[in-house]
Amino acid sequence: MRFTKMHGLGNDYIFLNCMEGTPNDLPGLACRLSDRRFGVGGDGVICVCPSDWADYKMRMFNADGSEGAMCGNGIRCFGKYVYDRKLTDKAHLAIETLAGERELSLMIEDGKVSGAVVGMGAPEIQPPMEIAVKGICFTAIPVSIGNPHAVIQVEDPAALDLQAVGSAVECHPAFPHRVNAEFVRVLSRGELQMRVWERGSGETLACGTGACASAAAMMADGKLDREVTVHLAGGDLRVRWDEKSGQMFMTGPAVTVFDGELDD
């Protein structure tokens, strides 16, 4: 079985070509391959699959084997994977995900994809709620953008013990299906700083859906303009919330790290 390691701002995934068949026990395979000591190492596994109605179907499994509905950094890499390997010659793609159809506009340089603009859909923002974790009270804004997020504004995201606090928010009783936790600080009307604890993967260097959810929450609260730069540990994403359509658009890079082959 051949695989490709890819990343978007350090949010790294192991890609499998499943166009002609899917391996058995994908959750177990994702756990094994994602292990950074005994496997390939990554935040999860993404499968490139055929779709009955879109150009392709993306299936994404977190490092703990749970299947995710959508992955913003992963879907940019997905577009690079199918274009660079000449599975398609389209620069605009419709991708089927568990969160619905997502559209990609590929950024092509010298015949290869360097990044993509992703139509992320419209965010669903719920009223803020008070939660207590590890003896600290937070105001969390639940946001869905294909998968669930809790956006929490803090003084300094870098100062948090994210291992303790992030995992506690992920599994808080207020979120019975677990949640991605984003801790954010507004730097200006055009800039947002963010750290993320991803459901099923732990702290990651970037989260595309989380960046969109965080930007939407702060935009809706009047703290940000409609187009901003989100600063993450792995780099920057550009996020725009289109007022006319209600859809969010995310722009960022996609990088291939290496190809490999599994013995079994």
Residues annotated catalytic, as ranges: 71, 207
CB 95 within 8 A of CB 101: yes
Task: Give dist(CA 145, CA 47) in Å, integer.
Answer: 21
Q: How far is CA 239 from each of CA 86, 113, 151, 200, 208, rounded to the nearest angstrom?
A: 28, 19, 16, 24, 9
CB 54 within 8 A of CB 19: no
- Quote the Cα angle for 167-172-174, to 5°: 150
| 42: three-class secondary structure by DSSP | coil
Q: What is the DSSP pairing of strand 248-253 with strand 112-121?
A: antiparallel
Q: What is the DSSP pairing of strand 56-62 with strand 92-97?
A: parallel
With tokens 């190809």, the residue in question is 259
CB 195 within 8 A of CB 183: yes
Q: Which parts of 214-254 are beta strand (E)?
A: 227-232, 235-241, 248-253
Other C-beta atoms lying within 10 Å of the C-beta of residue 115 = 22
